Amino acid sequence: MSRLILLNKPFGVLSQFTGGKDGVDDTLAHLVDVPGVYPAGRLDKDSEGLLLLTDDGRLQARIAEPKFKTAKTYFVQVEGVANEPALDALRAGVKLNDGMTRPAQAQLIEPPEIWDRIPPIRVRKSIPDSWISVTISEGRNRQVRRMTAAVGLPTLRLVRWRVGEWAVDTLAPGEWREIDI
C-alpha cells in the first residue's frame, strides 16, 4: 500500500530532506521522520502550505508532472489592490520569459483565516495589499510569483492551500498527517 503524507510546510523550509545550508533545521528532515517518502512537487523556501510526500513513484508523477494538469490552489497576498484587469490577465494566461502560462482561475478574496507567518511579512503603510486565490494546472519554477508580478501585483506571501483533492485544512505549520489512498 502506498503512503501519502500531507505536510504544512513552514516558511523557510526547503522541499527536500538533505542539503540545506543551515543543516537539518531548514529541510524536511526535522519535520517528517518517515523513511522512503519524497516530495511530490516542490514549494519554494519562501512559500508555505501544502506539500505532499509519497513513496509511490507513479502517484508522485501524477501529482507533480505538468502533463497531468493537477490543479494547485494558492492564497496569495499581493502588494497593491487586485483589480479586475489584473485578475482577467491571470485568467487569460500570462506571458513569462519561458512562454505563456495556461489560464489560471483567479479571484479577489477576503484575508483567509490562516496561521501567522514567522517571520511576518513586511507591511508598508503607504502601499495597500490584497489577497487573491489563484489556481494553476502547471508548475513552473516560482510560477505564481512571476504571474502576479507580471500583472503588477508582486507577491508578499504565498500559501499553497490545495493540490488536487487534498487540502492543508487544519494542519498547523510543521504538522503532517498520513492519509489512506
The domain spanning residue 136 has which CATH number? 3.30.70.1560
Total domain count, the chain: 2
Residues 81 and 30 in one domain: no
**The dihedral of CA 22, 28, 33, 36: what is its sign?**
negative
pLDDT band at 179; cut points 50, 70, 90: very high
The domain of 136 spans 71-163
* Residue 25 pLDDT: 65
pTM for the complete prediction? 0.93
Cell numbers linked to 73: 490552489
For residues 136 and 116, membership in a common domain is answered with yes
- Assess whether 94 and 174 both reside in one domain: no
Q: 43, 153 in Cβ contact below 8 A?
A: no
User: Which residue of the set 26, 44, 55, 56 is catalytic?
Assistant: 44
Residues 134 and 175 in one domain: no
Counting Cα atoms < 13 Å in the Cβ hemisphere of 13 gives: 26
90 lies in the same domain as 142: yes
**76-115 confidence digits (pLDDT tens):** 999 999 999 999 999 999 999 999 999 999 999 999 999 9
Q: Are residues 58 and 103 in the same domain?
A: no
Same domain, 37 and 87: no
Catalytic (active site) residue 25: no
Same domain for 114 and 158? yes
22 pLDDT exceeds 80? no
